[in-house]
C-alpha cells in the first residue's frame, strides 16, 4: 500500500487498532475494551478494532464502531513454554498463523494509531513485522503498560531476552502507563535510555463505569441485602482465595455480610463443582461462574475481596469500594507489588496469601471490612484520570499522525 493511497483513505474517518496478545485471563482484554469504548464515545468518526487471542471475547458487549478479530489462542504452560489452546498445531505453526492474521488485518484496516498492550513485540515477537510495516506507513505506534509489570529482578532478564528495550527505542512513538508514578513505576529497576523516558506518559488509572454496556447476572442477584463480592478475576489461579473465604464461612456460619463468589470463566470445572457443593451448604454464600459486566456487580457490592489484578483494582477505585486484596506472588510479583503499595497509602487492605491462610484471619477481615477506609479517604491527585488522559493523547496522536502521513505522501509523489 503506497503512502499516497493511505493518505486518501484517511478521509473516511479515524481508525485505531488495538493488540491484546493474551488467551488466558481477562486483564488485557478488559483493559483494551475499556479504552476502546471510551474512545468511540469521545470521537464520533472513530472505528476501533481489537486483535485478541481471548476465547471469550465474544461474551463482552462493545460500544458502537468497536469490533474484534480473534486470532488462534495460545496458553502458557507451567514451564513457561506456549502451546496452542484449541488447534492441533505445533506452537510455531500457531504463532506463524497468528502473525499472518495480525499483519493482514493491520494492512487492510490501515490504522492511524496502533496500541499494543504490554508486550512490546507481541507474543514471541509475533507483532514485530506488523509494527515495522505500520511505522513505514506513518501509523503512530503506542505501547500501553499497566502500572506494574513484575519484580525488576524478573523483568530485566525477560525484557532482555525479548529485545523489548530496543523496540521501545526504535519503533514506538509513545509509551502510555495506565497508572501513577507515586504508586508504581512499571520500568522500575531497568536501565531505561533517556530517549525512552521521554516517550513515557503516566495517564492515571482507568476509571470504570457500570452503565453503557450492561449484562445481567447468570443467576438471581443477592443485592436484596448487602453482600461482599469475592472475585479471583479470570479464575485460573484463584482457587486459594475462594477456598480461604469458604473456610471462613464454614467455620462461622453466622458470619455476615453475605458473600457472592464469582469463580471466573477460566477456573476448572472440577474445582467449580467442588466449590458449588460447599456453597450449597452455606446459607450466607452464593456463587456464579462469570458475569461479563463485572463493573455492575462491583457497583452493587458492599465490599470486595480479590486477588488484585489491574482491572479489579481499577474497579475498586472507580466505585470507591472497601477492599481486601490477597495477591498472588507466582508466576509474577505484579499483584503483590500493586497491593502492597496501595495498602501503604490506604487505598485497600491486604492479606498475605503465602502464609497459613487461617480461616479465623479471613473471618476477622470480613467482619472488619465495613470499618475500613474507602479509597476516596486517601487523596491521590489524578488517580482515576486514565481514560480522560488517553482521550487527550489520542487526539494529539491523530494530529501528529496526520502530519506524518502528509510527509510520507509528499515523499511518494
Q: Please tell me whether the overall predicted TM-score, pTM, comes out greater than 0.85 for this model.
A: yes
What pLDDT does residue 401 have? 62
Between these two residues, 371 and 225, which has the higher pLDDT value?
371
Separation between Cα atoms, residue 141 and residue 131, nearest integer Å: 7
Between these two residues, 233 and 154, which has the higher pLDDT value?
154
**Which of 206-210, 303-307, 370-374 is predicted with the least confidence, judged by mean pLDDT?**
206-210
What pLDDT does residue 399 have? 83
Cell 530485566 maps to which residue? 156
**Secondary structure (3-state) at 110:** coil
Exposed/middle/buried for residue 333 (C-beta within 10 Å: 0-12, 13-18, 19+):
buried
What's phi and psi for 152, nearest 5 deg? -55, -35
Average pLDDT of span 339-367:
94
Residue 330 pLDDT grade (very low, low, confident, very high; cuts 50, 70, 90): confident
Residue 217 pLDDT grade (very low, low, confident, very high; cuts 50, 70, 90): very low
Separation between Cα atoms, residue 287 and residue 292, nearest integer Å: 15
* Domains, the chain, with CATH or none: 3-207+384-412 (3.40.50.2000), 227-377 (3.40.50.2000)
Instruction: State how beta strands 82-84 and 74-76 pair.
Output: antiparallel
Average pLDDT of span 325-333:
90
Separation between Cα atoms, residue 168 and residue 183, nearest integer Å: 23
For the stretch 132-189, pLDDT in tens is 999 999 999 999 999 999 999 999 999 999 999 999 999 999 999 999 999 999 999 8
Q: Of all residues in the chain, what percent carry a pLDDT higher than 90?
A: 73
What pLDDT does residue 294 have? 86
Residue 25 pLDDT grade (very low, low, confident, very high; cuts 50, 70, 90): low
What pLDDT does residue 8 have? 41
Amino acid at each position: 500500500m503506497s503512502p499516497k493511497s493511505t493518505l486518501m483513505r484517511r478521509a473516511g474517518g479515524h481508525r485505531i487498532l488495538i493488540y491484546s496478545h493474551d488467551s488466558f485471563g481477562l486483564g488485557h482484554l478488559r483493559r483494551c475494551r475499556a479504552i476502546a469504548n471510551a474512545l468511540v464515545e469521545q470521537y464520533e468518526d472513530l472505528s476501533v478494532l481489537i486483535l485478541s487471542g481471548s476465547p471469550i471475547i465474544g461474551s463482552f458487549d462493545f460500544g458502537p464502531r468497536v469490533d474484534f478479530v480473534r486470532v488462534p489462542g495460545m496458553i502458557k504452560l507451567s514451564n513457561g513454554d506456549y502451546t496452542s489452546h484449541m488447534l492441533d498445531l505445533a506452537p510455531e505453526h500457531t504463532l506463524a498463523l497468528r502473525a499472518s492474521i495480525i499483519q493482514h488485518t493491520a494492512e487492510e484496516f490501515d490504522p492511524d494509531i496502533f496500541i499494543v498492550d504490554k508486550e512490546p513485540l507481541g507474543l514471541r515477537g509475533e507483532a514485530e513485522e506488523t509494527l515495522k510495516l505500520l511505522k513505514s506507513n506513518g501509523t503512530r505506534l503506542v505501547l500501553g503498560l499497566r502500572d506494574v509489570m513484575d519484580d525488576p529482578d524478573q523483568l530485566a532478564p525477560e525484557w532482555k531476552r525479548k529485545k523489548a528495550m530496543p523496540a521501545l527505542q526504535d519503533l514506538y512513538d509513545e509509551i502510555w502507563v495506565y497508572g501513577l508514578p507515586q504508586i508504581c513505576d512499571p520500568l522500575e529497576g531497568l536501565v531505561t535510555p533517556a530517549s525512552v523516558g521521554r516517550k513515557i506518559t503516566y495517564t492515571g488509572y482507568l476509571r470504570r463505569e457500570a452503565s453503557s454496556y450492561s449484562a445481567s447476572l447468570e443467576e438471581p442477584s443477592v443485592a436484596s441485602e448487602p453482600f461482599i463480592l469475592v472475585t479471583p478475576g479470570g479464575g485460573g489461579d484463584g482457587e486459594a482465595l475462594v477456598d480461604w473465604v469458604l473456610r471462613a464461612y464454614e467455620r462461622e456460619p453466622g458470619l455476615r455480610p453475605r458473600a457472592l463468589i464469582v469463580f471466573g470463566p477460566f477456573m476448572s470445572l472440577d474445582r467449580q463443582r467442588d466449590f458449588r457443593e460447599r456453597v450449597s451448604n452455606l446459607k450466607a454464600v452464593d456463587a456464579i461462574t462469570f458475569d461479563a459486566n463485572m463493573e455492575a456487580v462491583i457497583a452493587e457490592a458492599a465490599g470486595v475481596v480479590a486477588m488484585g489484578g489491574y482491572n479489579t483494582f481499577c474497579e475498586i477505585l472507580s466505585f470507591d469500594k472497601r477492599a481486601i486484596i490477597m495477591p498472588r506472588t507466582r508466576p509474577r510479583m505484579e499483584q503483590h507489588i500493586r497491593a502492597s503499595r496501595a495498602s501503604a497509602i490506604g487505598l485497600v487492605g491486604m492479606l498475605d496469601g503465602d502464609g497459613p491462610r487461617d480461616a479465623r484471619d479471613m473471618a476477622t477481615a470480613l467482619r472488619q471490612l465495613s470499618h475500613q477506609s474507602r479509597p476516596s479517604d486517601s487523596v491521590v491527585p489524578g488517580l482515576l484520570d486514565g481514560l480522560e488522559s488517553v482521550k487527550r493523547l489520542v487526539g494529539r496522536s491523530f494530529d501528529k499522525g496526520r502530519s506524518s502521513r502528509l510527509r510520507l505522501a509528499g515523499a511518494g509523489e
